[in-house]
C-alpha cells in the first residue's frame, strides 16, 4: 500500500520540475491546498442532499402548489392484461410486426396500441411537481454559487489578467474564500453523483454521468496541484447559464410559455457565448499557451488540459442540441421538446380517444403542454 501511495503521489507527475510536496506544506506565512482538505466534500455532499430534501418539501413544493402545479402524473393507461404482459416481460417498444399481431388479437387499431404503450411508459415518469421541485433546487443553488463566484473573482487579479494564474506558480497561497468556493462546488458535484440515480432519468444520463465525473476530477486535480486560480474561472464560467436553464424549466412546468421561451433564448445565448466563445478563447488559451510559456508543461498539466478538452467536447454536444431546439422554435414559433426530454409527451398520447375508436377522429395538442420537459441540464451545470 505504501508503494502504491508513493507511486500515485509521485511529485514528478503532479508538480512542476524542482517542486516537492514539502515545498507546499502549510506554514505560518502561507496556506496551500492540501489533498486531505477534499475529504470534507463527502460529509458536506451528504448535508447538501439533506438540505435539498428539506428545501424541496418545504420551499419548492409550496411554490409549485401556489403556481397550480399539481402532483398528478401522466395519463394512466387503460388496464389490459395482454398488453401489460408484453410491456413487462417482452418489450416496452414493440415493433411494427408485434403491433400488427396485437391489433388482430385485441381487435384494436395499431395507433391505439401505440398510444397505450406510450401512456404506459409515461406512467413510470415523475410528475410535473417533482420536476419543478428538482429544477427549483438547482436554480437556487446555481444562482447562489454563480453570484458568490462573481463577487469573489471580481476582487482577484487573475480575472482581469489570466497570466496571474501562473505567476509564482505553484507557490500561490490558498485564501479562505477560494477554499470555500472549491469545497462548495466539489460537494455539489458529489451530491449530483449520488442523486442522479434517484433523480429524473433523461436520455442523456450517460453523458451527464461523464460530465459529473470529469467535473469532479477537474476540481480535485486543480486543487491538489494548486491550479485553483484558473479552476475558479472554469467553475464560474460554466455556472453562468445554469440558473437560466432551470428558470426556463420552471416556467415551462408552470405553463408560462412566453416567459419560458424568453428564458430559453437568454440561456441559449449565454450558454453558446460562454462555452463556445469565452471558454476556448479565454480559459483554454491560458491553460494551454500562457501556462506553457510561464511554467512549462509537466505530466499532470497534460491530464488537466485533456479533461478541459473533454468538457469542451461536451459543451459542443449540448450546443448542438440547443441549436437544434432553436431551429425547431423558429419553424414552429415556440420552443419545442428536445431529444433528451424527461417525458415522452406527444400529440398522440395527449388524445383522450378510447382504444379501438377511429384514429382519424382524434384531437391533438399543439405541444405546449406543461408536461413537456424539453431543456438540457448545465454542467457545471458544470450543472448544472
Q: Residue 323: is its pLDDT beyond 50?
A: yes
Alpha-carbon span 202 to 339, nearest angstrom:
10
Distance, C-alpha 274 to centroid of its chain: 16
Q: Evaluate whether 244 touches 270 at the Cβ level (below 8 Å).
A: yes
Q: Looking at residue 134, what is its pLDDT?
A: 93
CA distance 298 to 129: 50
CATH of domain 81-124: 1.10.10.60
Task: Give the model's pLDDT for residue 144.
Answer: 97
What's residue 334's pLDDT?
Answer: 54
What mean pLDDT is predicted for residues 222-236?
96
pLDDT at 321 over 70: yes
pLDDT at 277: 97
Q: Give the confidence band of 361 by pLDDT, cuts at 50, 70, 90.
A: very low
- Given a cut of 70, whether residue 18 has pLDDT beyond it is yes
Kindly indicate the confidence band of residue 351, based on its pLDDT and cuts at 50, 70 and 90: very low
pLDDT digits 0-9 by tens, 73-122: 667 888 889 899 998 888 888 999 999 999 989 989 999 999 998 888 88
CB 48 within 8 A of CB 187: yes
How far apart are alpha carbons 203 and 214 in whole angstroms?
A: 19
**Comparing 136 with 369, which gets the higher pLDDT?**
136
Of 371, 222, 266, 382, the closest CA to residue 315 belongs to: 382
**Mean pLDDT score of the chain, rounded to an integer?**
85
Domain boundaries, the chain: 32-66+127-332, 81-124
Q: Rounded to whole angstroms, how far apart are CA atoms 314 and 312?
A: 5
CA separation for the pair 82, 118 (Å, rounded): 16
Residue 69 has pLDDT above 80, yes or no: yes
Predicted local distance difference test score (pLDDT) of residue 355: 41
Radius of gyration of the chain (CA): 25
Do you know the residue count of the chain? Answer: 384
The whole-number pLDDT of residue 374 equals 36
Residue 383 has pLDDT above 90, yes or no: no
Helices vs. strands in the chain: H and E counts, helices first: 17, 0
| pLDDT for 380 beyond 70 | no
Q: Is the pLDDT reported for residue 335 higher than 90?
A: no
pLDDT at 207: 80
pLDDT at residue 180, as a whole number:
97
pLDDT at 358 over 50: no
More confident residue, 110 or 369: 110
- Which residues, at least 6 apart from 94, have a Cβ–Cβ distance to it below 8 Å? 86, 102, 113, 117
Listed range (254-263, 298-307, 314-323, 375-384) with the worst mean pLDDT: 375-384
pLDDT at 320 over 90: yes
- 127-181 pLDDT, tens per residue? 889 899 999 999 999 999 999 999 999 999 999 999 999 999 999 999 999 999 9
* pLDDT per residue as tens digits for the range 194-228: 888 777 776 767 888 888 899 999 999 999 999 99
Amino acid at each position: 500500500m505504501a508503494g502504491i501511495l508513493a507511486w500515485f503521489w509521485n511529485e514528478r507527475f503532479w508538480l512542476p520540475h524542482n517542486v516537492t510536496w514539502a515545498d507546499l506544506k502549510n506554514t505560518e506565512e502561507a496556506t496551500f491546498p492540501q489533498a486531505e482538505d477534499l475529504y470534507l466534500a463527502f460529509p458536506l455532499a451528504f448535508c447538501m442532499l439533506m438540505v435539498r430534501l428539506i428545501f424541496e418539501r418545504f420551499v419548492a413544493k409550496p411554490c409549485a402548489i401556489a403556481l397550480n402545479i399539481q402532483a398528478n402524473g401522466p395519463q394512466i393507461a387503460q388496464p389490459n392484461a395482454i398488453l401489460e404482459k408484453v410491456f413487462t416481460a417482452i418489450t416496452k417498444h414493440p415493433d411494427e410486426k408485434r403491433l400488427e399481431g396485437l391489433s388482430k388479437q385485441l381487435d384494436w387499431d395499431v395507433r391505439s396500441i401505440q398510444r397505450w404503450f406510450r401512456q404506459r411508459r409515461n406512467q413510470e415518469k415523475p410528475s410535473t411537481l417533482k420536476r419543478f421541485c428538482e429544477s427549483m433546487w438547482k436554480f437556487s443553488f446555481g444562482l447562489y454559487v454563480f453570484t458568490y463566484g462573481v463577487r469573489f473573482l471580481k476582487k482577484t487579479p487573475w480575472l482581469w489578467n489570466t497570466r496571474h494564474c501562473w505567476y509564482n506558480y505553484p507557490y500561490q497561497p490558498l485564501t479562505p474564500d477560494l477554499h470555500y468556493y472549491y469545497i462548495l462546488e466539489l460537494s455539489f458535484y458529489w451530491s449530483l453523483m449520488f442523486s442522479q440515480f434517484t433523480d429524473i432519468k433523461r436520455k442523456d444520463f450517460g453523458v451527464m454521468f461523464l460530465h459529473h465525473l470529469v467535473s469532479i476530477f477537474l476540481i480535485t486535480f486543480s486543487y491538489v496541484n494548486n491550479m485553483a486560480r484558473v479552476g475558479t474561472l472554469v467553475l464560474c464560467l460554466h455556472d453562468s447559464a445554469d440558473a437560466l436553464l432551470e428558470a426556463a424549466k420552471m416556467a415551462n412546468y408552470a405553463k408560462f410559455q412566453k416567459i419560458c421561451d424568453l428564458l430559453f433564448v437568454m440561456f441559449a445565448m449565454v450558454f453558446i457565448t460562454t462555452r463556445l466563445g469565452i471558454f476556448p478563447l479565454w480559459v483554454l488559451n491560458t491553460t494551454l499557451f500562457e501556462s506553457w510559456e510561464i511554467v512549462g508543461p509537466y505530466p499532470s498539466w497534460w491530464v488537466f488540459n485533456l479533461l478541459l478538452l473533454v468538457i469542451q467536447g461536451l459543451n459542443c454536444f449540448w450546443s448542438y442540441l440547443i441549436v437544434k431546439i432553436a431551429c425547431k422554435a423558429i419553424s414552429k414559433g415556440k420552443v419545442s421538446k428536445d431529444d433528451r426530454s424527461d417525458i415522452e409527451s406527444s400529440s398522440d398520447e395527449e388524445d383522450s380517444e378510447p382504444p379501438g375508436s377511429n384514429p382519424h377522429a382524434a384531437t391533438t395538442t399543439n405541444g405546449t403542454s406543461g408536461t413537456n420537459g424539453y431543456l438540457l441540464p448545465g454542467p457545471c451545470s458544470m450543472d448544472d
